[in-house]
Structure 1
Amino acid sequence: MATDPRQIVALLTARDATVATAESLTGGRLAASLTSVPGASACVTGGVVAYATHVKVDVLGVPADLVAEHGVVSGECAAAMATGVRDLLGTTYAMATTGVAGPDQQEGHPAGHVWVAVAGPDGVETRLLTLTGDRSAVQEATCRHALSVLAGMLTREEPALG
């Protein structure tokens, strides 16, 4: 799947679709990768860096009981973050990242334990990633995977020809 932000921007622009980001462990890198592309303003609406749990809950609307039950390093939290930022910013699609960039564990999960989620008109997809490398490598790989999930969703939703 496409992980090049230029391809993602082109796909979104061709569909007249918009995207937002909700980022925890990537700290804005996912939005920065998209906005580095000339013309990204046609499809990138904005993003929320929700590094702290209270931002996930208070700004993105992640239910506190979901966090209490599953933690912030979970597919459930990633899905709620993606849906929350999609609703908040009124976009067609939204991507979310949450997990452990390292070097320390969080919620009993090791560095490299990451969840990405993409919310779109037809639902939410989540992916659990097990990544290796230092903090920067985990963040970069997370961004690539999030873009890949979005590209897959966009490709599957491609209108039929004829």
Structure 2
Amino acid sequence: MSDAVAADELATKALEKLSEQGRSISCAESLTGGLLADAFVRIPGASQTFRGGVVTYSDAVKTAVLGVSPQLLQTNTAYDPQVAVQMSTAVREMFHSDYALATTGVAGPGPDEGVAPGTGYVCLATAQGTEVREVNQPGTRPEVRASFVRAALELLVSHLG
């Protein structure tokens, strides 16, 4: 099954569960560049549960829009689990959503700051806390971006039960 087909199925399942529970979702994206938000809005009826998202591709925008620590970015780079935590927590608060997803990593084609393409993190923020998963999925730039969308959706669906 391709990542795009899997993303459609996972997004549909997530939106159905969120709707049943009367819950909402938002997202903060870096390397996925809007693909995660698109996975939700492609599904009819998404507006019932999807509140919105932000694409914070540069470190400066991560700091300005989401309040990600500039010291963390300087010391650990954007390819750090705590960056994903700060992104997801901030966007959850920004959109007043029950759940929020974040993606950060290296899309490629080459390494960035010594980090290999296909390496990074997805994070789910809830009122109870955060859960981060490392992603190591080498491939072409489009394949890497699609794999991070799938990983984020899998994390959400696994949490929703």
Which TM class, normalised by the smaller chain length? over 0.9
* Residue 111 (structure 1) aligned to one of 117, 120, 128: 117
1:135 maps to 2:135: no
**In the alignment, residue 71 of structure 1 is paired with which amino acid?**
T
Q: Could you list the runs of 4 or more consecutive aligned residues of structure 1 that deviate by over 6 angstroms after TM superposition?
A: none
1:69: Cα distance to partner? 2.5
> Cα RMSD (Å) of the superposition?
1.1
1:66: Cα distance to partner? 1.8
Q: Count the aligned residue pairs.
A: 154
1:105: Cα distance to partner? 1.1
Distance 1:18 1:70 in 2: 31
**In the alignment, residue 29 of structure 1 is paired with which amino acid?**
L
1:13 maps to 2:19: yes
CA offset digits 1:72-115 (Å, max 9, x no partner): 11101011100011111111000000000101211210101121
1:154 maps to 2:157: no
More helix by share: 2
Listed as ranges, the gaps of 5+ residues in structure 1 are: 156-162
TM-score by length of structure 1 reads 0.92
Listed as ranges, the gaps of 5+ residues in structure 2 are: 1-5
1:90 maps to 2:92: no
Distance 1:7 1:76 in 2: 28
* Residue 76 (structure 1) aligned to one of 73, 82, 102: 82
* Residue 55 (structure 1) aligned to one of 49, 58, 61: 61
TM-score by length of structure 2 reads 0.92
